């Protein structure tokens, strides 16, 4: 136990230290009241102090930019129209990701970006790493797997929410142009099919009156929806739209009504889809949909790139 004679000295030290700290604090306060002080390096005179560099708008823009730096390349001529000659070096300097890109566009109408992305991510899965679009209705799908890209192009038939999607492999010389299509894949619904003829062979015979049968949806394949058979067929712009099919068997006949889920406008004069020389297509108003409604419709509209196990001959 400490002796009482030591207590005054022990208690006095904090007072001395606090007084010294107080004096130092007052000193700091007085120094601050005299105004800001400019620090200088040892051995450097006050006259040698350098003013801060002037910030020009060019420097400010350079600091705020996050992209790569650009360089000035003298053009061939300067006037109302500049002329620039590009070399192969410019082509080779393109972003490598474009080598794994598919360019696509819809026939007859443009689809919302989010719905297209939702359907194709469900169809292609993780193979689709990025999707972009421009203001002209062109879509760009980045798929790093070249074998899967080739598989998609070889299949060649894809719809998003019943609207045909045309795909092309990107290359540096590819022109962004929507080619005229003489045939497109569309979804139809065939009603009143007798169950005895509900098979790949029977549906193929009936659907051939509409166009070239491609495949059916999973519910039709498994006969889980008996009200109609849903079939994807390739129709030609040279032929008028078939609205019903009369089927004969053993001297008797029955009518199979044909309902088109959607079909682009066709020109019987030019034999192409996408326009009509005689009349203009009036687009139907599109109502706003919630996220759940879009997701549900996208799931119903998704068509696998690889046909189901019951392709139609």
Check residues 19 and 275 and name the one with the higher pLDDT.
Answer: 275
Quote the tokens at residue 100. 């794994």
- Give the angle 148-105-98 at the CA atoms, nearest 5°: 50
* Virtual torsion, Cα 151, 152, 153, 154, nearest 10 deg: 50
The CA-atom distances, in angstroms, between 72 and each of 82, 90, 244, 258 are 14, 14, 65, 62
Proportion of the chain above pLDDT 90, given as a percent: 30
pLDDT digit string, tens, across residues 38-61? 445 455 555 555 555 555 555 655
Q: How far is CA 70 from the centre of its chain?
A: 28
Measured at the alpha carbon of residue 268, what is the angle toward residues 154 and 152, in degrees to the nearest 5? 10
- Report how far residue 2's alpha carbon sits from residue 11's, in angstroms, rounded to the nearest whole number: 13
Mean pLDDT of 113-130: 94
Domain ranges, ordered by start, for the chain: 92-169, 183-282
Q: What is the pLDDT of residues 184-242, one digit of tens each?
A: 888 999 999 988 899 999 999 999 999 999 989 999 999 999 999 999 999 998 888 99
pLDDT tens column, 88-106: 888 778 788 888 899 999 9
Instruction: Specify the CATH architecture of the domain 92-169.
Output: 2-Layer Sandwich (3.30)
């Amino acid at each position: 136990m400490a002796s009482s004679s030591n207590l005054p000295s022990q208690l006095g030290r904090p007072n001395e230290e606090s007084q010294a700290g107080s004096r130092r604090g007052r000193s700091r306060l007085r120094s601050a009241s005299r105004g800001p002080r400019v620090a200088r390096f040892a051995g450097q005179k006050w006259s040698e102090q350098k003013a801060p560099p002037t910030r020009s708008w060019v420097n400010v823009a350079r600091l705020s930019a996050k992209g790569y730096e650009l360089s000035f390349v003298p053009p061939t001529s300067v006037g109302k129209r500049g002329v620039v000659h590009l070399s192969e070096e410019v082509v080779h300097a393109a972003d490598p990701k474009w080598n794994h890109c598919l360019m696509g566009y819809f026939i007859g109408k443009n689809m919302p970006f989010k719905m297209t992305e939702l359907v194709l991510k469900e169809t292609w899965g993780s193979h689709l790493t990025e999707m972009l679009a421009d203001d002209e209705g062109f879509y760009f799908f980045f798929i790093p797997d070249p074998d899967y890209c080739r598989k998609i192009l070889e299949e060649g038939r894809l719809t998003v929410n019943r609207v045909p999607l045309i795909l092309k492999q990107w290359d540096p010389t590819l022109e962004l142009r929507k080619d005229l299509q003489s045939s497109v894949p569309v979804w139809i619904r065939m009603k009143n099919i007798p169950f005895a003829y509900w098979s790949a062979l029977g549906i193929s015979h009936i659907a051939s009156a509409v166009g070239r049968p491609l495949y059916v949806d999973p519910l039709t394949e498994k006969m889980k929806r008996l009200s109609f058979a849903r079939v994807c067929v390739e129709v030609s712009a040279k032929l008028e739209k078939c609205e019903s099919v009369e089927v004969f068997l053993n001297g008797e006949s029955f009518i199979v009504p044909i309902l088109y889920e959607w079909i682009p406008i066709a020109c019987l004069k030019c034999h192409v889809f996408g326009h009509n020389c005689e009349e203009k297509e009036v687009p139907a108003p599109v109502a706003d949909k919630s996220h759940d409604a879009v997701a549900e419709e996208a799931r119903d509209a998704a068509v696998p790139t690889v046909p189901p196990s019951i392709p139609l001959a």
